[in-house]
Structure formats: structure tokens, C-alpha cells
Amino acid sequence: MIRKILITLVAISSLSGVHAQPAQEDAGADLVVVNARIFTGNRAQPEASALAVKSGRIFSVGSDADILSLKNSTTKVIDARSRRLIPGIIDAHTHVLNDLAYNYNVRWDGVPTLRRALAMLGEQAKRTPEGQWVKVIGGWSPYQFEENRFPTLAELRKAVPNRPMIVQYAYNRAFLNPQAMEALGVGTDRFPTLPDIEFEKDGRGNPTGVVHGYTWLFLALEAMVPQPTFDEQVNSIVYSVRGLNRFGVTSIIDNGGRWPYPEAQARVDVLARDNRLNVRMPFVDLQLGDGGPVNMVDLELDAITKTAPISPGQNLHPSLAHGHEYRGAGEVLSGEVHDHENFDRPAVIIEPGKMRRFVEQDVMKLVQRRIPFRMHASYDENISSFLDGLEKVNETVPLDGLRWSLEHAETISPENIARVKKLGGGIALDAKMALHADGFIKTHGREKALETPRLRALVDSGIPLAMTTDAFRAATFNPWVGISWMVSGKSVSGSEVLAKDNRLSRIEALALFTRGATWFMDAEAELGMIAPGNLADFAVLDRDYFAVPEDQIESISSVLTVMDGKVVFGAQDYGHLSPQLPAILPAWSPVKYFGSYYGDE
């Protein structure tokens, strides 16, 4: 009997050995990239030529020979052909979910001449069906054009003679043709009644079609034009994300907009449940209400505790790490203390007492409940009064490691940088000055522009710090435009707009879009570097960021973008690896014909 039992055990052991062979095979890498010039961002191993990916994470980093030894019969091997490979770019403040009509818009991002921009409008006008509008909604600057000017109304009307048209410049001004003015009820009580709206008028006192204003005006106008269907909104996310992937972006933090939680998240869920969301998209929620004065903090607390309960850090994506996490409230926490950053106009300074009361009464509620928050604050005067209130809150309800940040902070002073650091906060800068510094100079002077923002002081402070795009309306979604500005000190017009001692090295500038941004995602241990154990997010560039002349940095794009170990974008040699995307909706979408960025047609 004992002998029979031993024979049986040996047989079982032998069978187990046979079944173990596939498990050994599985020990190999899923993906290997070789022959690369890898900038790891990891001080312990700053450079390498190859990496291996397993189960969505970096498995190993080293030489070609070392990494190739990790492949098996199923490993996908990609030859980088000596191209530069960098960690995936993280945009810690953008607005994908504010642009669910992305596919309806002509993108002027990167267009080099006004002549071509107008031609694009003319081409789109012929395709746009009856009942729809021809729209350009942000992402561009007149200073990017060779002509270095805005379009004239006559040029715009000639380009779009038979459809309503709106061309919006950041959150500063809009150009309307007669059909749009009639549709919006310009000059009647149908047009939104909002403060600080200014219509340019002709010699007879009639509106010309140029309107100046602030954020609320342009959000109201967007709500008055034809809206995309649910399916078109989901499709718009697909193609706006594809545009991000094209520049090597693998993670973003969506910073709120017209569609609040949980309404916007229903669109993302369509992609998340099928694992078709090609970017990590933590979100910050902004509750605007249905119009009229509202307490936005109270609305936020109701949304996350009653409407659709969710906790900070909770991930709504079923399988992607940091896929769609709730990261708190903001960036606008109150309409009454919002300091709109229209650089064509004087600074919007909030009455200090009003700001302090808001912080002590409403931000206090977030601190008490340990809800992270982000506060839009462009001007140092408003930052001072905000910090006055926050220091008061901290005396009674300590922040004690709660993640909070200032957004934009263009004119922050050294004194306030130190106060933010003492309170444990971060600062998410943005690259709007790359596009709009020429306008800032006209309003605030060149001397002020050269130190706006204080890049060198901010980096040297050691404060949690990221550079962002604040796309898709206030500025372009191309992070390389901002990186170029930080390094060269020049705006898109070629003007010097940052002092030489206020610029960053190429490594420092890239770090603000990689390692620096991870703090805002609470992902410092998983993202921002090419290192074993980190999530497998990286990009292979079309040119070497560390070697090209400064004037070529803004033209860099990715030829291969990998997120979570899978290829989400491929071009040139790697075009065949790019995932198949659904057909663009609607069929007349400008994105179908012009792409998302100049040169992407």
C-alpha cells in the first residue's frame, strides 16, 4: 500500500511539472523595447538602452543584452532605432471633460499662419450641416501666427458666410458672425446677463461681433450652441485623448468643467468598462450648479456623499491603476472669489475680507472632512488673502498632510511660496504665458512678465510643483510648447518673455511634466520615472529632446506612446501598432479632416 501511494505521488509530481512549463514561459516579459536612448528620470540609474514590461509595470531596465534575455516566445519586441525614450508625460491640470464637444471644434493649435487658419474655417463651413455651428474654441494665440495678429471680422465672415460661427480666444474674447449674433440674441434679453461683458461697437453704436469677457460668459455661450449627443461626447473623449497620446501624454488630472460628477463620469465609464480609456484620468470635481448664486462647496459635498457617494482616492475604473480616481474638489470653489486670468485686462483682485470669509466658512468644510482641494488663484494679492484664511483654518483644524494646491499662481511672490510650503500645499503652474505672454506684457509690462511665474524660485523651493497646460480652451494641450517656453524663455511669437535667470534646464522642465506631477495624483511611488516596479508609461520621441535646438522643442511629438504596458499611439515606424479607434462622430467633424493639432491631418 505504501509503495502504491509513493508511485501515485511521483506521478502527480510529474504531471505538475508538465503543467508548470507554461508558467515558466509566462515568467518572460510582455513587452521589450531595445536600442533606445532612455532618460529614466531615476537618479539611481539615469540612462539605459532597454526596458522590459510585465503585467503593466516596468519589469527591468538595463542594456539591450540584459533585457533581451528576459523575452520569451510571446514577448513583443520593439526596436526604438536609437530614439529618445522618456517617462510618460503627466498633465496635472487640464479639462478633457469640459470639452465633450471636442469633435465639433476646429483646432487652431499649432497652426503657423492666420492664412491657413482662415482657410480651415472656410473648408469646414462647406462641410458643416444646416443647424450646426463652425467653432474654434481656444487652444490658440494670435501671437503664434506668422502675421502676429487676430483675424478681422471681415476675414472671418468671408470664411464662414452661411453658418453661425464663433471663434474664441482663451477665456478673453470671442468673434461672432451675423448668423451667430442672431442665434445668440445679441442686443436682446436672450443674451446672457453677466457682469463685465463688453461688446465692441461700430460708429453707429451697433455690436460688431467682438465680445470681451471672463470665464462665465464663455461657458454660457457654449451652453447656447448645438450640443453633441451622448455617443458624440464619448467619441470626443476618445479623440481628445488620442491627441494627448500623440504628444506622449499618458496621465492627466481632469480639473472640472460644465459637466459635474457624476454626470461626466458616465461618459468615461463607457470607455473604462471596456478598458478603452487610453490615459490615466484622475479627476477633480467642479459643481457650477444650474445658474445663479450657489455654494459650490455644499454642492460638492452633496454630490459625493448623497448623489453618488465616493471617497478621495476611490478609483471608478475597474482595471486601470489611477484610471479615474476622485482627487477632490476644485479648481473653482466659489464663483464669487474666482480671479479670472484674462491677461488682456487688469488683474481681478478679490476683496480680502470676502476671500478670508470664504476660506474660513467653506474651505473649512473640506478640511474637516479630509477632502483634498485645488484653488484657482492667478494673482498674488488673492493668494495672500486665501493663505490668510487657510492659516486661520489650520490653527483649529490642522491640514496635517491633506493634499491641497494652488492652481496657476502666475504672480505668486517668494513670501507666499514659503507660506504654501509651510502649510504642506502644492502649486500646479500652467504654461499659458507661452501663448499669452505678449498680451500680458501689453497689460502688465515686460519687467513683470520676465518673472511670471517665478520658475527658478519655485523649483528651488522644493515645494510639490507641476507644470500643466490648462487645455483645451485657455491654452493648447501640447505640453512641448510649455517645455520650450520654460527652457528658451520665449513665447510662441519668438519674443523673450522669461528672464535668463528665471529659466529651467531641460531636465528640470521635463521633470515638472513627469515626476513633479505625480504628487498631485498621489502616485509618487508608481509614476514619473522609468524604474523597476513603476507603472509602464513612456513615450518614444520623434527627435531627441536633449539634443535638438531650442527652437525645435515645441515641435516634438511621440512616435510611440505606451500606457499601462500597451501601445496607445503609434506613428512613423510604429503606425501599425496604434490601436484601432472608432469612426469619428459626427461624420462632418473637423477632427476627421484636420486632426487635433497642426500637422496631424
- Per-residue pLDDT for 17 more than 90? no
Indicate the average pLDDT of the chain: 95
Query: 31-82 architecture in CATH?
Result: Roll (2.30)
* Residue extents of the structural domains in the chain: 31-82, 101-227, 230-529
Q: What is the pLDDT of residues 102-118, one digit of tens each?
A: 999 999 999 999 999 99
Could you report the per-residue pLDDT of 331-388, keeping only the tens digit for each? 999 999 999 999 999 999 999 999 999 999 999 999 999 999 999 999 999 999 999 9
Predicted confidence at residue 26, as pLDDT, reads 66
pLDDT at position 601 is 64
Does pLDDT of 2 surpass 70? no
Cα separation, 74 vs 64, in Å, equals: 18
Sequence-distant (≥ 6) Cβ neighbours of residue 348 within 8 angstroms: 214, 338, 339, 340, 341, 342, 378, 379, 382
Neighbours of 356 (CB within 10 A): 21
Is residue 25's pLDDT more than 80?
A: no
pLDDT at 522 over 70: yes
Q: What are the pLDDT digits (tens) for 262-289?
A: 999 999 999 999 999 999 999 999 999 9
pLDDT (tens digit per residue) in 419-464 = 999 999 999 999 999 999 999 999 999 999 999 999 999 999 999 9
* Residues facing residue 94 across a β-bridge: 254
Confidence label for 246 from pLDDT (cuts 50, 70 and 90): very high
* CATH entry 3.20.20.140 includes domain 230-529: yes
Instruction: With beta carbons less than 8 A apart as the criterion, state whether 35 and 82 touch.
Output: yes
Percent of the residues in the chain that have a pLDDT greater than 90, as a whole number: 93
Average pLDDT over residues 39-60: 97
In this structure, what C-alpha cell is assigned to residue 200? 465692441
Using the predicted structure, report yes or no on whether residue 149 has a pLDDT greater than 70: yes
- pLDDT value at position 195? 86
What's the mean pLDDT in 58-65? 98
Query: ∠ CA(389), CA(288), CA(218), 5° rounding?
Result: 110
Nearest to 29 by CA among 59, 5, 61: 59
CA 235 to chain centre: 18
Q: What is the pLDDT of residue 371?
A: 98
Q: Residues 219-246: what's their mean pLDDT?
A: 97
pLDDT of residue 292: 74
Mean pLDDT, rounded, for 40-55: 97
* Grid cell locating 581: 479607434
pLDDT at 10 over 90: no
- Rg of the chain taking only CA atoms, in angstroms: 25
**Is the pLDDT score of 158 beyond 50?**
yes
Using the predicted structure, report yes or no on whether residue 303 has a pLDDT greater than 60.
yes
pLDDT digits (tens, 9 = 90+) for 455-498: 999 999 999 999 999 999 999 999 999 999 999 999 999 999 99
The model's pTM: 0.95
What does each C-alpha distance from 260 to 70, 71, 287 come to in angstroms? 46, 45, 6
Q: Is the pLDDT of residue 119 over 90?
A: yes
Q: Is residue 136 helix, strand or coil?
A: strand
Q: Are 394 and 404 in contact (CB under 8 A)?
A: no
**DSSP label at residue 138:** S
Percent of the chain whose pLDDT exceeds 70: 96
Assess contact for 588 and 579: CB atoms under 8 A. no
